[in-house]
Structure 1
Amino acid sequence: MRGEHGARFCSEVPRTLICDAPVDLAAQVAVGTREFVRHVLERLEARGDLRPGLRLDVETERLSSLVDGLAMNAVLRPELVSGPACLEVVRTHLGALAA
């Protein structure tokens, strides 16, 4: 229950500080993750370490989605997936992309 002071504080704080900041941060993280994954895949491709014919746009989205899901589960349900398990999943996925 908010008291008089809490209600006054909430009405004085710009709504964008409360509501938009997490959305903006989530968008930045999503973009940053995809940029990082794309960079990694491009480096692997340049070294000849990826199977020929892979579509980097599709593989970027696949790996980014995998990382996002693992991170979400590791934070929200750590009893379901450990750090070492996350690494094994990502290594297995990258191994499947290898030349």
Structure 2
Amino acid sequence: MAQHLGAKSLPDVQEIFKCASNALGTDAYGRPRLPSGHEPGDLPLNYLKSLWPALLPAVRMLCEEPKNWHILCGLAIQQALEWGKGVIDPELELRIVM
């Protein structure tokens, strides 16, 4: 979706995995590395803890099999990227998601 929206480059997945594995067990683990002004107000894990109880019923309604929830999440991410079109650069959108 990011490429469809005009992203010229994609995040380096190997670099993301390397950084995440190097951060394991440190305060840096789970902290997004984003440009100034685009940092979230809280850690993604805290958003997950607070939002998941409210989202889970909708997830279960839309996709009964937990083994397929990743597909539902991927489709939701694609839709969010498209909704952000014209508001935020698609490369930055994808970096935020990753």
TM over 0.5: no
Structure with the larger helix share? 1
Q: Which structure carries more relative contact order (alpha carbon 8 Å, separation 6+)? A: 2
Q: What's the TM-score once normalised by structure 2's chain length? A: 0.30
Larger Rg: 1
